């Protein structure tokens, strides 16, 4: 039987379990710079509370066109970055990824036009190529953000199974 690569983690609360699971599969808590490209209007709304939390915690947020506009309209401090197809415009999302100026990419795909599909693919591909953590699901992105914003890595406890079931 081959391993599926799945990881099960237990914590004292959801945040601890999520943080343990993300760290155990190779994610890391981001430094200070996060790139957000959040897809549809609903996905943008689903991420709003998490992006506000990131801003409150002092993270520098960068966003592509529609996400940038949405965040500005909702009073979230954010810097505009440009899609790969927007040649000559600065700063370019891909160049920031290549220069390792981004610590986490949240790119929620949407499939409206060929250009959007290609831009999203190029950003996701660059994140993978440059070993920058990438999240493509709004629920997971929100849960991970809440987890690393609410606890420090030093707060994670390693316990035996017996310590969890005796509670």
Q: What is the model's pLDDT at position 72?
A: 98
3-state secondary structure of 62: strand
pLDDT in tens, 131-155: 999 999 999 999 999 999 999 888 8
Q: What is the model's pLDDT at position 118?
A: 87
pTM: 0.89
CATH 3.40.50.1380 fits 17-160, yes or no: yes
As a whole number of angstroms, the distance between CA 103 and CA 108 comes to 16
- Segment 66-86 shows an average pLDDT of 95
Q: What is the model's pLDDT at position 128?
A: 96
- Segment 86-106 shows an average pLDDT of 94
Q: What is the model's pLDDT at position 167?
A: 56
pLDDT greater than 70 at residue 1: no
As a whole number of angstroms, the distance between CA 123 and CA 19 comes to 24
- Segment 112-131 shows an average pLDDT of 88
pLDDT in tens, 10-59: 888 999 999 999 998 889 999 999 999 988 889 999 999 999 999 999 99
Q: Closest Cα partner for 146 from 35, 58, 54?
A: 54
pLDDT greater than 60 at residue 69: yes
Cβ partners under 8 Å of residue 84, min gap 6: 92, 93, 94, 118, 119, 122, 123
């Amino acid at each position: 039987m081959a391993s599926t690569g799945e990881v099960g983690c237990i914590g004292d609360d959801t945040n601890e379990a999520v943080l343990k699971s993300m760290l155990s599969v190779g994610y890391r808590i981001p430094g200070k710079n996060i790139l957000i490209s959040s897809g549809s209007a609903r996905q943008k709304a689903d991420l709003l509370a998490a992006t506000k939390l990131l801003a409150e915690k002092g993270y520098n947020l960068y966003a592509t066109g529609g996400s940038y506009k949405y965040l500005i309209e909702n009073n979230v401090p954010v810097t505009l970055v440009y899609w790969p197809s927007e040649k000559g415009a600065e700063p370019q999302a891909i160049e920031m990824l290549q220069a390792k100026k981004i610590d986490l990419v949240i790119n929620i795909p949407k499939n409206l036009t060929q250009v959007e599909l290609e831009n999203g693919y190029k950003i996701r591909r660059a994140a993978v190529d440059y070993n920058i953590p990438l999240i493509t699901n709004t629920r997971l992105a929100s849960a991970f953000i809440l987890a690393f914003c609410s606890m420090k890595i030093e707060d994670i406890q390693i316990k035996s199974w017996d310590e969890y079931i005796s509670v």
